[in-house]
Amino acid sequence: MGRTCSGGAFLGIFSGMLSGYIPGLHPNTFFSEFDPTYLDREDVLTFASACSAVNVPLSKVESMFLGVPDDQASVAVLIPLQRYTIEGRAEEAARLVALGTLSTGFFAAVALPYIVKIVGPMYVASKPIIPWLVLTILALQTYDNGLRGLAVFSASSAVGYVVLSGPLDVASPLEAMLSGFYAIGPGLSCLMNRTSIPKQRPGKPAISGKELPKCGILAALAGCALGFLPGLGPANVVSVLTRLGVDTTERYLLVTSGIDAADAVSSIVALHALGNPRSGASVFIQRSVGDITYPEVLASVGVYLLVSVLGAWLLIFSTRVLGGVLSGARARVLTGTVVLGLLALMTFHGLGSLGTAIACAGIGIYALRSGVDPSLCTSALALPTALKLLGVG
């Protein structure tokens, strides 16, 4: 059994690196298309936990180095990770993400016995208002981004509704939309602006001792709650978090990266307590082995926590290496290669996927150039899901 689990762990780590480093490859898409028949029960649980633990921090690499505006005064929106990169402080941002991921994972694991007890009643009580909560968060985020935000929200929602509910033949709707919004669009924007990434310098974040546990606990609570809100990610709740005191870049990075970790842990718990998978990893587990027991929950969370240390180290190491390699014009060469590769992949999937990716890329470029939070593009997933839960459309 030890050799079996170690095989699942190595495969999970490799797959987490693959899905984390490749732009546009969302973990939900990866898990939906990855269906090996040779994994036994222990392998499946270990693989899914290890893959999520590595993917959560490494998925931030794309945000750091792809779609970075040409300077701080650019009208294009500077998400916190990009702000650190353009200031030459990407490694400092990576360390903040690592701290947020590890601290929140620890708090979520400590609270695990209590989460198991309350997640069922919490889900039953909140189920009728879940779509309204999703719509409220989208409304707050749209309001914070003004009329241009309303334009991005409307266009993204329309594309999402047509792709997910309409007659279009799109082989992988999630992959096509997310690749367009967050990889092809930002990549094309970089190429049009002839963006150059400055050379990065080593650095450690300066945060107080009280800041880390406060942000970790808030992220753990928000991550567990976010798991009930389909179609939304950590960045979508920024409009709520800023109203709760997450008003600095450091706090934002700690909390949003921590929410990812808490969501991964709570999704495993939800599979056991509710029989309801909420993320790609838990969907993969249920599809492969069915429901899981409480001891298996503990084992899976234990694997996640152990491997997340490696994931955090890989993020810091990768940022240090890429910060030196991608400075100057070399970033444009890599960006162009990524964009061409993704367009070729969408073409291989069919004209429906290619058209969807191009339409979403256009919306993503508009969001970047008009100063709108790019995470608002996820209304393409969130709004159709909320309407479906309400029985509309």
Residue 188: name the closest of 342, 11, 361, 3 by CA.
361
Of all residues in the chain, the percent with pLDDT exceeding 70 is 84
Cβ-contact 218, 244 below 8 angstroms: yes
pLDDT at 330 over 70: no
Sign of CA dihedral 169, 66, 259, 36: positive
Model confidence band, residue 359 (pLDDT cutoffs 50, 70, 90): very high
Model confidence band, residue 75 (pLDDT cutoffs 50, 70, 90): very low
199 phi and psi, to 5 degrees? -65, 135
How far apart, in whole angstroms, are the C-alpha atoms of residue 130 and residue 120? 14
pLDDT at 5 over 70: no
pLDDT at 122 over 90: no
CA dihedral 161, 162, 167, 169 (to 10 degrees): -100
Model confidence band, residue 95 (pLDDT cutoffs 50, 70, 90): very high
Of all residues in the chain, the percent with pLDDT exceeding 90 is 15
**What is the pLDDT averaged over residues 24-49?**
72
Whole-prediction pTM: 0.81
Task: Report which of residues 268 and 39 the model is more confident about.
Answer: 268
How far apart, in whole angstroms, are the C-alpha atoms of residue 287 and residue 31? 10
Task: Identify any residues that bridge with 197 across adjacent strands, giving them in sequence order.
Answer: 327, 328
Task: Report which of residues 319 and 23 the model is more confident about.
Answer: 319
From 67-81, 96-110, 252-266, the region with the lowest mean pLDDT: 67-81
In whole numbers, what is the pLDDT of the chain averaged over residues? 81
Is residue 366 classed as helix, strand or coil in its secondary structure?
helix
The whole-number pLDDT of residue 262 equals: 84
Model confidence band, residue 218 (pLDDT cutoffs 50, 70, 90): confident
Residue given tokens 């991608």 in the structure block: 326
From 41-45, 106-110, 176-180, the region with the lowest mean pLDDT: 106-110
pLDDT at 40 over 70: yes
- In angstroms, what CA-CA distances link 36 with 24, 32, 47, 268, 335? 22, 11, 11, 20, 31
Residue 367: name the closest of 20, 69, 89 by CA.
69
How far apart, in whole angstroms, are the C-alpha atoms of residue 58 and residue 27? 11
Residue given tokens 């970033």 in the structure block: 331
The whole-number pLDDT of residue 3 equals: 47
Domain boundaries, the chain: 2-389
The whole-number pLDDT of residue 31 equals: 66
Q: Provide the 8-state DSSP code for 198.
A: P
Encoded tokens for 178: 């997310």
